[in-house]
Amino acid sequence: MGAPYNATVDLLERNLSHRDRPALRQDGRITTYGALCERANRAGNALRALGVQMEQRVLLCMLDTPDLPAVFWGAMKAGLVPVPVNTLLTTADYDYLVRDSRARVLVVSSALLPKLEPALRGQPFLQSVVVSGGSAPGHVTLDELLAQARSDLDPAPTTRDDVAFWLYSSGSTGQPKGAMHLHGDLAETARLYGEGILRMRADDVVFSAAKLFFAYGLGNAMTFPFAAGASSVLLADRPTPQSVVRLLREEKPTFFFGVPTLFAGILADSTATDLGGRLRWCVSAGEPLPRDIGVRWRERYGVDILDGIGSTELLHIFLSLRPGDVRYGTTGKPVPGYEAQIVDEQDRPVPSGEIGELRISGPSSAVAYWNNREKSLHAFRGRWTYTGDKYRQDADGYYVYCGRSDDMIKAGGQWVSPAEVESALVAHPSVLEAAVVAHKDENQLDKPKAFVVLKPGAQASSEELQRFVKERLAPFKYTRWVEFVEGLPKTATGKIQRFKLRVT
- What CATH number does the domain containing 155 carry? 3.40.50.980
Q: Are residues 163 and 199 part of one domain? A: no
pLDDT in the model for residue 360: 98
Query: Could you report the per-residue pLDDT of 186-220, keeping only the tens digit for each?
Result: 999 999 999 999 999 999 999 999 999 999 999 99
99 and 207 within one domain: no
Q: Strands 384-393 and 399-404, how do they pair?
A: antiparallel
Q: Is 475 exposed, middle or buried (0-12, 13-18, 19+ CB in 10 A)?
A: exposed
Q: How far apart are CA 401 and CA 393, in angstroms?
A: 9
Closest to 172 (Cα-Cα) out of 331, 30, 286: 286
Mean of per-residue pLDDT scores for the chain: 94
Instruction: Say what the pLDDT of residue 474 is.
Output: 76
Q: How confident is the model at residue 473 (pLDDT cuts 50, 70, 90)?
A: confident
Same domain, 256 and 352: yes
Phi, psi of 363 (to 5 degrees): -80, 0
> Among 182, 212, 228, where does a domain finish?
182
Range of the domain at 234: 189-362+384-404
Helix (H) or strand (E) holding 108: strand 105-109
**Residue 430 falls inside a structural domain:** yes
Kindly state the average pLDDT of the residues 31-44: 98
Whether the predicted pLDDT of 412 surpasses 90: no
Residue 370 lies inside a defined structural domain of this protein:
no
494 pLDDT higher than 80? no
The pLDDT of residue 153: 98
- State percent of the chain over pLDDT 90: 83
How far is the C-alpha of 382 from the C-alpha of 240, rounded, in Å? 41
Which pLDDT score is estimated for 496? 82
Centroid of chain to Cα 460? 33
pLDDT at 403: 82
DSSP 312-362: TTT-SEEEE-BTTB--TTS--EEPTT-EEEEE-TTSPBPPTT--EEEEEE-
Confidence (pTM): 0.87
- Gap between the Cα atoms of 445 and 252, Å rounded: 52
pLDDT at 90: 86
Each residue of 149-160: pLDDT tens digit? 999 999 999 999
Residue 181 bridge partners (DSSP): 165
Position 394 confidence tier, pLDDT thresholds 50, 70, 90: very high
Supply the CATH number for residue 494's domain.
Answer: 3.30.300.30
